[in-house]
Structure 1
Amino acid sequence: MDSGLELRTSANRVLVVRRRDAEDLVLTTASRAEQAREASSVTARLFVALMRHDQHAQDVVTDVLPEVFPWVAFLSRQEVRAFVEELVSTMKAADSIDNPAPVAQVIDSWRHTAEVLADPELTAVLSKSTDADFGPVPAPCPPTHADQSSDFATHWSRATQTPAQPGRTYRGHHRAHPRSHQPGPART
């Protein structure tokens, strides 16, 4: 059966177009895309509301987070709570603009933090206090496909090139990319 015909005859199917020179494309019907967006939005809004109004729910989510994100084992309990709080607030904001990218960025950022904390030598290098002035920070570059790589070696090499400010701890993603935001909250 022709893939195009199959897609036209079913509102529940998607077609993945594999491209050699660029990211794959996913084709679906507009109604199916709207259903997926609505389901995601409702789930996010329910989760955010539950987390904002029920301390027990916050505790349960913090307790089960290692099942969803095993790498949180390298974060302290306080850092896990900070991750949950940032994730919830970002989910709410991202839903309001119908863009899931900020949620993925928060998860990626905290995963890179865990990668750094899992390596005592790297943690020591990045936590080292310095009074030196390392000169002006170059203007951010427009993102490229290569910048979106989650390759640990790339992040590690970038992270070791930028010194930490005294008294500040940087989360991995913010620390690793030249187009970073403000540094993350200080951790103890």
Structure 2
Amino acid sequence: MIFSIRTITRALSRRNRGIRFGPERWTGLLAELDRRGERRHEAGAFLLGARTGDLREVQDVVFYDDLDPEAYCSGVCILHAPAFAALWSMCRARGLTVVGDVHTHPGGAFQSEADRTNPMVAREGHIAIIVPNFATGRPPREILGVFEYRGDHDWTDHSGAPARRFLHNDFWSKFL
């Protein structure tokens, strides 16, 4: 297969919005969500990093149960106020911000009513990613739920085919 510099440059220039992970970080995140959820309950994590314009760069991950050991007790992800205080403290210490969150669902990657009305971080531009089947295997981007918070419980859905242009976690992501 032959790629021209023009084709590669065009593809990479489209990556100026959305959320970007290095492929190793993404693979490790999925494996850890699978392990922590024990294929029986939801698990989740905050995505820490930096935001430049409309692009968020994930540089670190903090799992919900590291902030709140009771986060998964009900079977779904629930965090209490002290967990958020610890999160904000971590962000200040590391010089990062919360750019998104990710959590698992038992079946499909739909946004539940609870997800829609209770964003983990209710800040415009926050990205919420939902991974189906408790993060078993390596789900392709097209089956993930990818949602961008717009404020006032309004979300933009980047799931399905649009996820390929919004969630950057492939080989090229480590070079940008």
TM-score, structure 1 as length reference: 0.22
TM-score, structure 2 as length reference: 0.23
Higher relative contact order (Cα pairs below 8 Å, separated by 6+ residues): 2
